[in-house]
Structures are given as C-alpha cells and as structure tokens.
Structure 1
Amino acid sequence: PYIEGGIGLIYSDFQVAGQGLRFNFNPQLGIGLDRLTGETGWFADLRLHHISNGNLHHDNRGINSLALVTGIYF
C-alpha cells in the first residue's frame, strides 16, 4: 500500500468551463496498492484530481474528479 500526491500546471489551447483562464493548477492525492509476482506485477490507484486557477481570475469554479487507475508491470 502507498500514498501519493503532487501538483502540476495545466495550460490548454481551449478554456476549461468555469475557469477564467487557460492556465490552471492540478493538485492530486491518491492511495494505491501494487504487487510483484515473478517478473510481472500490477497496481491499482484511487486518485482525487482538482483543477482550478488558484483564484488568479474571478471565474474559478474548480473541478474535482476521482480516477481509478490500474496497470501491469512487465
């Protein structure tokens, strides 16, 4: 089991609805589990993503989403 977190910057060529700018922040937090079985393995994460412009513009509704991410190591 593990906990992960981070923050990123987003600039898009289209404007995200409810955001006054094309530049936004993307903090995220997640928990996960991974297992190694021989030469291969798998992982599963549950992540909370947030997108907002950090109040750099008056139109800053913010968008929250949950993501389930799975994968295989090989």
Structure 2
Amino acid sequence: MDRKLLRNCRTIAGFNTRKDFAEAVGVHPATVTRWEAGTVPLNKHWKIKVIKVLAEAGLTQNEIYLLSELKK
C-alpha cells in the first residue's frame, strides 16, 4: 500500500489522527507515522489488518483500489 494512499484512506475512513488509527489497528502511533512516511513498509500481516480496519470503518476494497489508481 502506497504511503499517500494509506494516509488518504485513513482520513476518508474517518481516522483524523494517526493515534486513532493506530489504536484501531493495534500499533503504536509512531508506526503509522513510519508507514505514512515510507520509512517502514507495511508487511503482509499489517496490510491485511489495515484493510480490515478500513473496511470496518466503511471503506470498501473497491474504493481503496480506485484511490490507488488515482496516483497513476
């Protein structure tokens, strides 16, 4: 997941702060900062968890895909 895509999906899903999103995912807020900065990539385990949290917040996988296509 692209770092800008992660930030956009997070805010569209209603997580206005990294802290709120981190709590929902189950990581430290600094981890979300690193993911969004691109200094630490999301591994498969965390990608699945992030997508699950975004889906629970109302963002569909189709919406995530469409947002990812906007960067091309």
Q: TM-score, normalised by structure 2?
A: 0.24
Higher alpha-carbon Rg: 1
Higher helix share: 2
